[in-house]
Amino acid sequence: MFRLEARTSTSAWFNLALPLLAIGATLVLCSGLIALAGAGVIEAYGVMFSASLGDSYAITETLVRATPMIFTGLAVAVAFRAKFWNIGAEGQLLAGAVASCAVGAIPMPGPLAMLLMALAGAAAGAAVALIPATLRVKFKVDDVVSSLLLNSVIFYALMALIEGPWKDSFSGYPISPPIEDSANFPVLLEGTRLHLGVVAAFLAAPVIWFLIARTTLGFRIRVIGENPEAARYGGIHVERVLISTALLSGALAGLAGVSEVGGVHFQVMSDISPGYGYSGIVVAMLARLNPLGVMPAALFLAAVMTGAEAMSRATGVPAFLSDVIQGTALLAMLVALLFTAYRIRRVGAAR
Amino acid sequence: MPAPLIEMRGISKRFGAVVANEAVDLSVAPGEILGLLGENGAGKTTLMNVLFGAYAPDAGEILVQGRPVTINSSADALAAGIGMVHQHFHLAPRLSVLENLLIGIPGKSGRIDRAGGLARLAEIGRQHGLTLDPGLPVSALSIGEQQRLEIVKALFRGARLLILDEPTAVLAPTEVDGLFSALRSMAAQGLGIIFISHKLNEVRALTHRCVVLRHGRVTGRVDAPASTTSSEMAQLMCGHEIVPPARGPSTPGAAVLTLDGISTSRHSGMALRDVSLFVRAGEILGIAGVSGNGQRALAEVISGVLAPDVGRMTIAGKVVSRFSPCEVQALGLGRIPEDRMTTGLVTNLPLADSMVLPRIGTAAFSRNGLLRPDAIRAFAEAQIKAYDIRCPGPMTRAGALSGGNLQKALLARELAFDPKVLVVSQPTRGLDIGAARFVHEKFLDMRARGCGIVVIGEDLEELLMFCDRITVMYEGRIVGTLDSADATIARLGLMMTGAEGHS
């Protein structure tokens, strides 16, 4: 018979190995599905690897993919640190995309346009995140439910916009007018899609890490997340910090939308995000809510996404496997997290 | 001597490198009340958790009436006739007394056997004087009644051996007498009892025999507790002699904290009704009362967490206007909370974070919104050294510290900035003699330095030992205040039941 027993401490290497273990377990579990689809497991993973990390172009594509997930991963990590359960990064991303697209369509000098796009997108995302945070602070409404449901509201508002006022009158497609060419984020490497937003994402992660680890706001976020009562007695305005956290989280998710509009799509369409907001939750959990860990975690998911399409073409395994891998990775990580608090003991054998 | 009801032989239990129990032998005979003594971290709770099936021992065996048994869960323990009353009760507050008793008991052909339960409850009540109204919801019971229900629950499930973990910590003196007579009656009818307590006078009054643990090993056995002095027992527990701190005469100065006609309405516990009191510099005021008579609301008002509806409070001569923790702290209030883990420290973060929590926004620990990690670490390290807080370092998870060390960390945090007023709830609850002694010394030290201290406590002996005056609360009101020279346990005990005293 086995059972769980509380752990008193965990070693540093164990904490580091945990996400790797979860990823390993995920790949093993998903290899069963690949085999079921009639393909060779080694071959499928091989194609996946070479298509996402095999050459320099593949690597740039993976970096471009990882960018929105770094932003949403940071958004979720910051929120979850304060135990503000922001499941709404998807909606905040869409709001950020719409706002930056509206700003980017106004003719003005390129650098100013990019700056204003970023500000508008961040503000839009923050405004959306403010809704569930305010509902929670004022009326104790569950933030998981409200932030999640708000995603649909934002999505259909976006649909109404691109089916209505923003509809392309020429082609009739439900896509927004493009932003000004001058507002397109500069490409950093000729012949690739590696844009300025990628650099911004990789700079944002250490900045957010610094904010959490080294500022009083970060200290308060950590404390209200771990023990709001002690924080309140310690003179911290828990509600105020929670609202600040929500604004920061929403702004980061909004930036994911800005980066997709300014660097990849240059306009808004209904499938501008294949669920980057939800992937942000997986990213944040794999990173164990550490902003620096968000970068490798987002890269892993991005590699799975870019690799899955090539794998699908080469082996006939449906590209949906990428979603399965994401979901399995999240579950595996949640199970793995259990082992930071508990160990498995065999009972009965000791005597 | 009759065959032992239960016998633990050579029990050892390790957590990583920490030895919690090492070759512990212990037995309880039918009709025997065994005292289990030891400082915090001595291994008492681990040993009882092994007996109750929460941990598997690394070595050793457990015999029930001479037969070796394997206890892997509380269900196994109950089946072996072992019942345990934990410090924190495990009751469903919305369910009635009877329903709580019947949880987990298989009924007759799928139906709950209410009639059978009622009959058993009445029988247990008659046998041991443990009467309870079966229809009342648990939320309507006093703490003492809830404890009684826990005991009845164990007996209901056929316990032959009852483990009580610090049962008197939550009781008023009169309730303690009731508990003791029930325990004696149970022993007289052949049940075995293991009684865990820090209060040596209680152990001496109640138990037939004592086992003393230190560092996980049995370091002493007392065969006649009644004729052994408390200091002899304390010495067995700590390994050295304990002298109570001497309280010098006080020369109180001006009032540093005043409450004037404070009343509160909304409060989950008992609200305050027209409470007025004052504490002078260099004086320790004790607040006595049975738990749940407004002490928590009083502590919350003074801490600035709960704003009163009417009344006025001043700290160091300044009127408190907004009642926020920030404001009272800025006026010079320090606070040692009753519940260290929930309102004091952040268990999942490094100890250093908890130690700077109330003052993180001040220039000592941050500048322009940026933390000063070196200053935080240096402060924590200095306090760890000054207060001899046993931990690997300032980055240790606060939750990994023992109760005594947590209390030291809280003291260090609040005293480091020389508060003018200190409000303390249950300062030594759960602390062992050595740690409690340290806390008392610190209070007397602060008193000598002109700090006004309010101590909210239930242990009257403790309050009498180091308070200058003692105020008694009952149902949210102040019954009266006695100079500690005039106060006796009997007199305070009477006032705690609401009888008017003399102020």
Confidence of residue A349 (pLDDT cuts 50, 70, 90): very low
Cβ-based contacts of B353 with chain A (< 8 Å): 219, 222-223
Rank A230-234, B244-248, B264-268 by mean pLDDT and report only the highest.
A230-234
DSSP for B406-450? HHHHHHHHHHTT--SEEEEESTTTT--HHHHHHHHHHHHHHHHTT
- In chain B, the percentage of residues whose pLDDT exceeds 90 is 39
Could you say which of 1.10.490.10, 3.40.50.300, 2.40.50.140, 1.20.1250.20 is the CATH number of the domain covering B243-332+419-503? 3.40.50.300
What confidence score (pLDDT) does residue B130 get? 85
Of A116-130, B157-171, B308-322, B372-386, give the lowest mean pLDDT range: B157-171
pLDDT at A351 over 50: no
What confidence score (pLDDT) does residue B502 get? 47
Q: How many CB pairs (< 8 A) connect A and B? A: 94
What confidence score (pLDDT) does residue B108 get? 67
Query: What are the structural domain ranges in chain A?
Result: 2-346
Where is B26: in which H helix or E strand?
A: strand B18-28
Alpha helices for B63-212 (secondary structure H): 74-79, 97-102, 114-128, 143-156, 173-188, 200-206
- Per-residue pLDDT tens digits for B436-472: 888 899 999 999 999 999 999 877 888 888 899 999 9
Confidence of residue B145 (pLDDT cuts 50, 70, 90): confident
Cβ distance B371 to A235 less than 8 Å, yes or no, reads: no
Cβ-based contacts of B343 with chain A (< 8 Å): 229-230, 232-233
Residue B21 in tokens: 């129990």
Cβ distance B348 to A227 less than 8 Å, yes or no, reads: yes
Confidence of residue B105 (pLDDT cuts 50, 70, 90): confident
What confidence score (pLDDT) does residue B14 get? 84
Q: Which of B8, B302, B360 to mutate to test the interface with A (most CBs of A within 10 A)?
A: B360
Query: What are the structural domain ranges in chain B?
Result: 6-238, 243-332+419-503, 346-417
Q: How far is CA A183 from the centre of its chain?
A: 24
Confidence of residue B289 (pLDDT cuts 50, 70, 90): confident
Confidence of residue B115 (pLDDT cuts 50, 70, 90): confident
- Closest of B437, B424, B10 to residue B231, by C-alpha: B437
Q: For B135-148, what is the mean pLDDT? A: 86
Cβ distance A232 to B369 less than 8 Å, yes or no, reads: no
- Per-residue pLDDT tens digits for A308-330: 888 888 888 888 888 888 889 88
What confidence score (pLDDT) does residue A220 get? 96
- In chain B, the percentage of residues whose pLDDT exceeds 70 is 95
Cβ distance B345 to A227 less than 8 Å, yes or no, reads: yes
Which fold is adopted by the domain A2-346? ABC transporter involved in vitamin B12 uptake, BtuC (1.10.3470)
What confidence score (pLDDT) does residue B242 get? 63
Q: For B195-220, what is the mean pLDDT? A: 87
Higher pLDDT, A164 or A13: A164
pLDDT at B398 over 80: yes
In this complex, the residue of A223, A232, A235 whose CB is nearest that of residue B353 is A223
Cβ distance B335 to A233 less than 8 Å, yes or no, reads: yes
Give me the helix-helix angle, A216-226 and A196-214, nearest 10°. Answer: 70
Confidence of residue A342 (pLDDT cuts 50, 70, 90): confident
Edge-to-edge strand list for the sheet holding B283-288: B333-336, B421-425, B452-456, B283-288, B469-474, B477-483
Phi and psi torsions of B46, nearest 5°: -60, -45
Higher pLDDT, B428 or A242: A242
What confidence score (pLDDT) does residue A104 get? 96
pTM value is 0.79
Note whether B161 and B191 are within 8 A (CB): yes
Cβ distance B325 to A234 less than 8 Å, yes or no, reads: yes
What confidence score (pLDDT) does residue B171 get? 78
Confidence of residue B169 (pLDDT cuts 50, 70, 90): confident
Of A235-244, A316-325, B261-270, B354-363, give the lowest mean pLDDT range: B261-270
Rounded to the nearest angstrom, the minimum Cα separation between A127 and chain B is 24
Rounded to the nearest angstrom, the minimum Cα separation between B19 and chain A is 13
- Per-residue pLDDT tens digits for A201-228: 999 999 999 999 999 999 999 999 999 9
Higher pLDDT, A142 or A336: A142
- Closest of A307, A321, A299 to residue A65, by C-alpha: A299
Which CATH number is B6-238 given?
A: 3.40.50.300
- Per-residue pLDDT tens digits for B318-345: 999 888 998 999 899 999 988 788 888 9
Cβ-based contacts of B346 with chain A (< 8 Å): 223, 226-227, 230-231
What confidence score (pLDDT) does residue A7 get? 64
- Per-residue pLDDT tens digits for B53-101: 888 888 999 999 888 988 888 888 988 999 999 877 888 888 999 888 8
How many Å apart are CA A65 and CA B449, to the nearest integer? 64
pLDDT at B114 over 90: no
Residue B205 in tokens: 């009054």
Confidence of residue B400 (pLDDT cuts 50, 70, 90): confident
Q: Which of A219, A223, A337, A343 to mutate to test the interface with B (most CBs of B within 10 A)?
A: A219
SS in 3 state form for chain A?
CEEEEECCCCCHHHHHHHHHHHHHHHHHHHHHHHHHCCCCHHHHHHHHHHHHHCCHHHHHHHHHHHHHHHHHHHHHHHHHHCCCCCCCHHHHHHHHHHHHHHHHCCCCCHHHHHHHHHHHHHHHHHHHHHHHHHHHHHHCCCHHHHHHHHHHHHHHHHHHHHHCCCCCCCCCCCECCCCCHHHCCCECCCCCCCEHHHHHHHHHHHHHHHHHHHEHHHHHHHHHHHCHHHHHHCCCCHHHHHHHHHHHHHHHHHHHHHHHHHHHHCCCECCCCCCHHHHHHHHHHHCCCCHHHHHHHHHHHHHHHHHHHHHHHHHCCCCCHHHHHHHHHHHHHHHHHHHHHEEEEECCCCC
Confidence of residue A1 (pLDDT cuts 50, 70, 90): low
Higher pLDDT, B142 or B118: B118
> First and final CA of chain A: distance in angstroms?
13
In this complex, the residue of A3, A234, A350 whose CB is nearest that of residue B57 is A350
- Residues in B lying within 8 Å of A, measured between beta carbons: 15-16, 18, 55-61, 70, 72, 303, 305, 324-326, 329, 335, 337, 342-349, 353-354, 357-358, 360-361, 366, 369-371, 373, 397, 400
Rank A321-335, B255-269, B354-368 by mean pLDDT and report only the highest.
B354-368
